[in-house]
Structure 1
Amino acid sequence: MTSNADLLLDDFLAFSLKGETPSITQGTTRSGVRWTWQSHGIALFEPAHAPTHSVLASAGIHGDETAPIEMLSRLVADIANGRAPLAARMLVILGNIDAMRGGTRYINDDLNRLFSGRYKSLPQSHEAPRAAELEAQALQFFDGATHAKWHIDMHTAIRASVFEQFALLPHTGAPLARAMFDWLRDARLQAVLLHKEKSNTFVHFTAQHANALACTLELGKVRPFGENDLARFAASDAALRRLIADEALKEQAPLRVFTVVAQIDKQSEHFVLNVASDVPNFTAFPSGTELAHDGAYRYRVSHDEERIVFPNPRVKPGLRAGLMVIDTTDATFASLA
């Protein structure tokens, strides 16, 4: 008799959306990989031999960002049937499952703004318990690991981008790691954005509290389930598979580096962002351009050129409505040890 645990491994996305508890919560695949269902949308995979490193791979922190969710579900199936070799411990997380079911970004609050304990200030939020659970699962996974620790959190952007596939690195004060930049180049990311302040994102939490090499990937645009061309993200998928298999890097593609120089915050419902709804991420603006105002507040470009990333005037007051970045490619690569 087939158990519903078979669906867990064959189609992790479908199983997670059903919201069931598997009849069997752990087992071993034919290739010797040990698997454990941890919670809804969370599964642990351990290789047959001593692991070389630990990799947390997450997607769906925003429920409507479907392409990386589908990629990760396919990877789970390939680990289970032996098509994806596993040398690392791996924790797979599908984040906001309720939002995924509804095809929405979130139910009450942006889950990716609730980590590092910020969920405690929003106890009535639908997302608060999930943020607490994901923090606990991540810390448990990385606890005691003496080898390299990685967290790859995969997203998609709301709007088009000058660089369709790019990454964001959290700021913890630690030196930048060449290993991360080498992996991003292997994944053929076109650009990477460096934060200069701490935040409440999932990757900042794992970097700060678990000392993980952590990055956010932005892969294409938001689309409904079933409407993604996953072949467009084959390079990132292949790089993740090489990472968990402990295989040598293959690509060293060019990579532009940008550093955040300012954040545009929405202070009230009177906020105005002077950026058209179809302006792509990383669009450049010259010095003196007024990009936003909110009462007495004005944001004007102060560098020779600044680019805007994640412009979104529809966020709640008090949240980020855009990031302003400048090119720091040469200086960044020169600083890597």
Structure 2
Amino acid sequence: MQDFLEQTLSGEPPAKFSGRNDQLSWQWLDDGILELTPVNASSLALVISAGVHGNETAPVEILNQLVSQLLAGERPLLPRLLVILGNPAALRENKRYLRCDVNRLFGGRWQQYEDSPEARRAWRLEQAMETFWQAGSSDEVRWHLDLHTAIRGSWHTRFGVMPLRETPWPEDFLHWLAAAGMEALVFHRAPGGTFTHYSSQLFNAASCTLELGKALPFGSNDLSQFAAARDALAAILSGDALPQYAEEPLRYRVSQQITRLSGAFVLHMSNDTLNFTAFPQGKLLAEDGEKRYFVQQAREYVMFPNPNVAPGQRAGLMLVEDNAHNEATGAG
């Protein structure tokens, strides 16, 4: 098989749909969806996705490098692996999305939208993930790593966003996130339409949206800035040693969501406001007609502020620090 990313961007099916080497067998399932099965049985089933937003290219390039090494037989593969490039049509156009945001459509939410490439893609990705995990044993460990970069700069260059989860997070998963260079972890307390919430809620996967830097076009990324994440991915794929890290990530939890309700929405933040910028209690954050959003806690931090989302969509999240955990672990 030729280069996975090049094949996906071409929009054409590969000349061969399956193959093998001494380490693994592989199967092209669909546009940008590749399944790799190790020669030896594994207790881990791993889904790695990237390019769910088509302008977030650095994780796509990193993932493609690792996939190329696996397909060439240059490194062993330990887990069963499903590799997903989420939105190939948007990747080809270097756009976040063409009609609507794929990462708001999972968990069947695509059914609530008009027929569009993104809605169909979300449905296809749900199918691929369900089929992949159903093929494994009942005691298989499931991880899902969804790789992104952010529109804005951030006080924490690399951070993870954890979906709502009713059971404790596996310690080895949290350890892996720290080794991957996550400076902060943000814990959701409500369901959402993201790919990681879907995999966590329906399949009890340990799932995380990894924000690894700033969104740039193909060819403009300095991949050396992503070394910790790349090395941590290589470690989980092939059994390499995890990168060393000095500190535990800071922990935050979502305190409130800012939702754009109408065309009257105004976000009271400048266009260069960084993720994790702090605001004091009582600060007016946004307004939408008669609806007002204020800082409710002594101090809250903004994440993903974006006034240009469609009505009904999230225009920002407000966070508070998990002080008890941060003080107990000495994080930060």
Query: By the TM > 0.5 criterion, same fold?
Result: yes
CA distance in 1, matches of 2:243, 2:148: 23
Could you tell me whether the CA contact under 8 Å between 1:79 and 1:86 is conserved in 2?
A: yes
Q: Is 2:255 aligned against 1:261?
A: yes
Q: CA RMSD in A?
A: 1.5
Deviations 1:96-153 (A, max 9, x none): 1101111111111100000000011114222111111000100111113322111000
Q: Is 2:39 aligned against 1:45?
A: no
Could you tell me whether the CA contact under 8 Å between 1:182 and 1:252 is conserved in 2?
A: no
The structural deviation recorded for 1:333 is 8.8
Q: Which residue of 2 aligns with 1:148?
A: 141
Name the amino acid aligned to 1:273: L
The structural deviation recorded for 1:81 is 2.1
Could you tell me whether the CA contact under 8 Å between 1:44 and 1:92 is conserved in 2?
A: yes
Deviations 1:3-36 (A, max 9, x none): xx3x1xxx2111101111122111112x331111
| Gap change, CA 1:127 and 1:333, over 3 Å in 2 | farther
Describe the SS at the equivalent of 1:127.
Answer: helix
Aligned with 1:14 (options 2, 6, 28): 6
Q: Is 2:228 aligned against 1:235?
A: yes
Describe the SS at the equivalent of 1:128.
Answer: helix
Q: Which residue of 2 aligns with 1:137?
A: 128
CA distance in 1, matches of 2:147, 2:327: 24
Segments of structure 2 that go 5 or more residues without pairing to the other structure are none
Deviations 1:187-238 (A, max 9, x none): 1210111000011100111111111111000011111110001110110111
Q: Is 2:206 aligned against 1:204?
A: no
Q: Which residue of 2 aligns with 1:225?
A: 218
| Gap change, CA 1:53 and 1:246, over 3 Å in 2 | farther
Q: Is 2:68 aligned against 1:77?
A: yes
The structural deviation recorded for 1:328 is 0.4
Q: Which residue of 2 aligns with 1:322?
A: 316
The structural deviation recorded for 1:240 is 1.1
Aligned with 1:117 (options 105, 108, 124): 108
Name the amino acid aligned to 2:321: D
Aligned runs of 1:124-203 on 2, under 5 Å? 124-143=115-134, 144-145=136-137, 146-203=139-196
Q: Out of 258-267 and 14-23, give the one that drifted further.
A: 14-23
Q: Which residue of 1 aligns with 2:19?
A: 27
Q: Is 2:61 aligned against 1:67?
A: no
The structural deviation recorded for 1:177 is 2.4
CA distance in 2, matches of 1:328, 1:119: 33
Describe the SS at the equivalent of 2:236.
Answer: helix
Q: Which residue of 2 aligns with 1:251?
A: 244
With normalisation by structure 2, the TM-score equals 0.95
Describe the SS at the equivalent of 2:160.
Answer: strand
Aligned residues: 326
Could you tell me whether the CA contact under 8 Å between 2:156 and 2:183 is conserved in 1?
A: yes
CA distance in 2, matches of 1:169, 1:281: 16
CA distance in 1, matches of 2:319, 2:326: 14
Q: Is 2:302 aligned against 1:311?
A: no
With normalisation by structure 1, the TM-score equals 0.93
The structural deviation recorded for 1:252 is 3.8
Could you tell me whether the CA contact under 8 Å between 1:88 and 1:246 is conserved in 2?
A: no
Describe the SS at the equivalent of 1:86.
Answer: coil
Describe the SS at the equivalent of 1:188.
Answer: coil
Describe the SS at the equivalent of 1:214.
Answer: strand
Name the amino acid aligned to 2:244: E
Name the amino acid aligned to 1:167: G
